[in-house]
Amino acid sequence: MQLKRLLSAGACLIGLLTSVAASAQVAEFAPRATVFIEPSKTSKLLVINPSAELSVTPTDWLEVHGGYEADIVSGATESLKGGRLSPVDIVSSATHFKDTRHQVTGGFGLTRDNTKLSATYSYGTENDYRSNAFAVQSGTTFLQKDTELTLAYGRGFDRVCTTNFAESDSPSVKAPLDSSKGCFTKAVERASRKVDLDNFQTGWTQTWTPVFTTQLVLYGALQHGFLENPYRGVVIAPAGDQALENHPDNRLRLAVALRGKYYVRPLKIAFSLGTRLYRDTWDILGQTYELEAERYMTPDLRLMAHGRYYTQTGALFWSDDYTGGEPHDGPRGQYWTGDRELSPLSSYMLGGRFVFKRNGDPSNRIAHVMLGFETSFSVDLLKTSLRDFTWGGTKPDDTLAGIVSLGVRGQF
């Protein structure tokens, strides 16, 4: 029912955009497909992400856009977290699952002289999650267009499906979901919990010389509500007692990123160097370092290669095992988690991208149809090193992942 409503809304949006496009100066269509693969003996994961976006510019100052994307997820995951002292067989608790997330997006942008304003709304649905979100962004250039400032705000009104426990229940008796069956229906054994998301971001892009430009980004986010994985249980007592993950209801996240791009004329290569520092109230401190180089192989074809290193500390309440004694194998305060993304980890990413781009003009269209055409193909490998995380004392084997993405963009 939800999917039908979503598809009809998407069809309406595409119909509207197509009718506007008939009189538009430029219409742009951009389909893309991304595949994420994480091989493993017990908990492999495959995510296929098709998406398409259509935007039209009926006048110089107005742009209208709409889009659709899906995450088709299949694989297996351990539904119970225990550490090296766990009395429960964790690895055999891996369960197979399939789910699909659908998301439709629509919005508009206004441009006036050196100023832009845009607004976007998106609705997402999957078996166990619903999201409604809007975002507004404004940007302006000044100082001879050498300086650009942007300001963005996003608000999410999400709901997640859980078992039907009472808020007043002790966290130690709350049970995780065993499946999404009955979610967002009147089933008495299911309930839905709010997740409120506020995101703020501001960016300052500055040109310093004809070959050097920088960007500073400040980011802040507030999350409030049910922030646990509703499926994941954690072993919390030496006797093997289990309970649903128990995270704090609030999380404040802050990040500052600085990037620079420098074009080396003798090499004809644009180099990019970037760093990001992240901190949140769960006491995760993250550092990211990125290096990128891009150059033209032919006038239409360019190649980009990049590397990324990331490291983080664990959340204050993260422990590989909550059944032993402090400090290493026991409780850390009143919360518990089985989320490996909250554990101390580092990761390396290496990848590359080809982009083929050709521009036409109204009197000389590409294939008699397009004003412009662009296609990109990228491959990335991500290797994660989990410093302390184990499944019942066994290091996870799903720490090498591949991302392949193919996109096309046509202007009409």
Partner 1 sequence: MLKLAFFVFLLSLASCVTVRPEQRAVLADPTMQFDNDPGDGAARDHVLENREGSSGGTSVKGGGCGCN
Q: Which two tokens stand for residue 26?
A: 């430029």
357: contact with partner 1 by CB under 8 A: yes
C-alpha 155/C-alpha 211 separation (Å) is 37
Binding to partner 1 in span 85-124, by CB under 8 A: none
How many angstroms from the chain centroid is the CA of residue 242? Answer: 30
- Region of 6-14, 18-26, 47-55, 76-84 interacting with partner 1 (CB under 8 A): 47-55
Site string for partner 1, 326-345 (x = CB under 8 A): ---------------xx--x
353: contact with partner 1 by CB under 8 A: yes
Query: Taking the complex as a whole, how short is the minimal distance between the CB of residue 221 and partner 1, in angstroms?
Result: 6
Comparison of 48 and 85: residue with beta carbon closer to partner 1 = 48
What DSSP letter does each residue of 13-38 carry, written as one string? HHHHHHHHHTT-SEEEEEEEEEEEEE
- If we measure between CA atoms, which residue out of 313, 250, 248 comes closest to residue 278? 313
Binding to partner 1 in span 280-309, by CB under 8 A: 280, 282, 284, 286, 288, 294-296, 302, 304
Binding to partner 1 in span 61-80, by CB under 8 A: none
Query: Taking the complex as a whole, how short is the minimal distance between the CB of residue 182 and partner 1, in angstroms?
Result: 25
- If we measure between CA atoms, which residue out of 68, 81, 75, 109 comes closest to residue 95? 75
Q: Which of 9, 241, 376, 393 binds partner 1 (CB under 8 A)?
A: 376
Burial environment of residue 170 by CB neighbours within 10 A (0 to 12, 13 to 18, 19 or more): exposed
List the strands of the sheet with 80-81, edge to edge: 80-81, 233-235, 242-244
363: contact with partner 1 by CB under 8 A: no
Q: Which of 18, 34, 180, 281 binds partner 1 (CB under 8 A)?
A: 34
- Region of 102-110, 178-186, 262-270, 365-373 interacting with partner 1 (CB under 8 A): 262-270
What DSSP letter does each residue of 104-158 carry, written as one string? EEEEEEEEETTEEEEEEEEEEEETTEEEEEEEEEEEEEETTTTEEEEEEEEEEEE
Binding to partner 1 in span 142-161, by CB under 8 A: 143-148, 150, 152
C-alpha 221/C-alpha 230 separation (Å) is 22
Binding to partner 1 in span 178-237, by CB under 8 A: 199, 201, 203-211, 213, 215, 217-221
